[in-house]
Structure 1
């Protein structure tokens, strides 16, 4: 049993990881919080006040609780959050009992210098300069979004490309580009299992399903018995920032319609360019064959049959 500290553990991804850590009954879990705790977290996990602006205090906190591994799920909603993670990395490197670190990614493969990914790239650069064992968790797009509100999830509701509830779709590219979708609970299950290993690869790849938007659309129409209203946003349209948008917001907090359209266009281009498809090699699915992640057809069937 090791002590695992989860930063951002009350948010969607963080809460899901905490829940799976507790279900495993293998580790002691503490949640790092910017605000003074008022109650115990779900399942009785300990919440401790963390000053992300003070590296020395953070390091002492990790030592006080004998933290061996840090899992960061900090949401990058601004430069302050990104700096908080960098400070946490520095603190973990200083703390004597802390040897492992998972940075906040839990998404697509990032190998571009696009400004939107700056926080991720800065964290990777910082980790490479430390003595910490670390791994980046890459799982494509969260499958949860296509089952909401009928799929159990801690993630914030977000609709992109296919709006099953309203029987409509605005699909980027041709809709035949492959992408990877993984259910958040399955991502958390793999993360918990990784804690059993002494060494980690720099990148830990997870996949629930490799699929396409057209395949999801076909399944959704079959399950609901309704033909959707569908438009396709071609690559040129996306490069001009002219993605079809239904409402403001994209899952990362409040946003204007202009900001939303820019992000949806970026998501669309990532899909068209194959960036949401995770690499085929060295997926954790093969390393831990007893973990069977749910596939998109199974998730959609459970969520939308008869609805």
Structure 2
């Protein structure tokens, strides 16, 4: 049995992790929240812990009194305020007498192995969390790198707790603004598959590596567009954004971006799309390393083509 605390467990990836971890009745899952009650119905082995991220002593006491063994952070967005909250959580976990493992909110790419010109505004925030963890050698940690979330290519039809974010290929509008040539290999993983692998990590007695690589599928954007065109039964209007334009923060707007401006300001969203585009074109999303998939072949990951065909076939 493992007692697990999930920071940010009320939505997005965190909620997906909670859904998977609580499938084992022997685990006790604690959702760390600023509110005293969960916003969703949960089984008996899921509990809500109201916390104050500004107080390290209070956090430490909460982790110790509930005998938390593993902390998983999915805190988002990576703002300075969230950075401070996560750093306080790391300090509290390290100083507690119960927490032995910590998964920081890195999810995505390896932010220590990227192009210095990748314009991702939260790169420094991600790196500083690892710098904080390095201060506590007794606390095991691993950065989970799963590439881009596949969920976005099945929205709004697919099952997902993620906020809507339609990157580069607007399947509903039959339009695409592809970073670079479209032939670069990119790693994508469905959040449900990420959760299955994280559960394997939590349940393993092996010492964690500092980096854990997960791959649901590795495909090019040309392959994504081809699958989408077949599913929709029509040709897409496709443009390509050059690496130079992406480095300058220039990205072609697709219709699917506009509704998202209510959540992320236009300038921020397009900068994010440009930054990820640079990372994709320069190979940062094509991971090199030992994958957790190899250790757990029983986890059958979702493939991008199947995913698109499942949720878009016949939707003309």
TM-score relative to the length of structure 1: 0.95
Distance 1:125 1:41, change over 3 A: farther
Map residues 269-284 of structure 1 onto 2, 5 A cutoff: 269-279=278-288, 281-284=289-292
* Distance (Å, rounded) in 1 between the aligned partners of 2:129 and 2:295: 26
Could you tell me whether the CA contact under 8 Å between 1:249 and 1:256 is conserved in 2?
no
The change in CA–CA distance for 1:142 and 1:116 in structure 2 (over 3 A counts) is same
Tell me which residue corresponds to 1:55.
56
2:186 match: 179
For residues 123-176 of structure 1, the C-alpha deviation after alignment (integer angstroms, 9 at most, x for no partner) is 111111112011111000001111111211111111111010111100010000
How far off its partner does 1:35 sit?
1.9
* Deviation (angstroms), 1:190: 0.4
Matches within 5 A, 1:95-244: 95-111=96-112, 112=114, 115-130=121-136, 131-198=138-205, 199-244=207-252
Structure 2 Cα separation of the partners of residues 40 and 169 of structure 1: 35
Backbone CA RMSD of aligned residues: 1.7
**Deviation for aligned residue 1:25:** 2.5
Deviations 1:9-67 (A, max 9, x none): 00210000000011132310111111222667522411011110000110010000000
Q: 1:259 to 1:249 in 2, by over 3 A?
A: farther
CA contact (8 A) 1:249 1:260 kept: no
Distance in 2 separating the partners of 1:106 and 1:241: 22
Which sections of structure 2, spanning at least 5 residues, go unmatched? none
How much has 1:211 moved relative to structure 2? 0.4
Q: How many residues align?
A: 305
Report what 2:83 is aligned to.
Answer: 82
Residue of structure 2 in register with 1:10 after alignment:
10
Q: CA deviation at 1:222?
A: 1.0
1:43 corresponds in structure 2 to: 43
Measure, in 2, the Cα distance between the counterparts of 1:273 and 1:71: 29
Per mean C-alpha deviation after superposition, the further-off stretch among 102-111 and 282-291 is 102-111
Tell me the secondary structure at the aligned position of residue 29 of structure 1. strand
Give the TM-score, by structure 2 length.
0.92
User: What is the alpha-carbon distance in structure 1 between the residues aligned to residue 305 and residue 269 of structure 2?
Assistant: 28
Q: Displacement of 1:249 after TM fit?
A: 7.0
Structure 1: runs of 5+ lacking an equivalent: none
Contact 1:33 1:48 in 2 (8 A): yes
Residue 261 of structure 1 aligns to a residue whose secondary structure is helix
Does 2:260 align with 1:254? no
Helix, strand or coil for the counterpart of 1:43? coil
Once residues 252 and 154 of structure 2 are traced to their aligned partners in structure 1, the CA distance between those partners, rounded to angstroms, is 21
For the 8 Å contact 2:79–2:125, the answer to whether it is kept is: no
Contact 1:76 1:119 in 2 (8 A): no
Offset of 1:189 from its aligned partner? 0.5
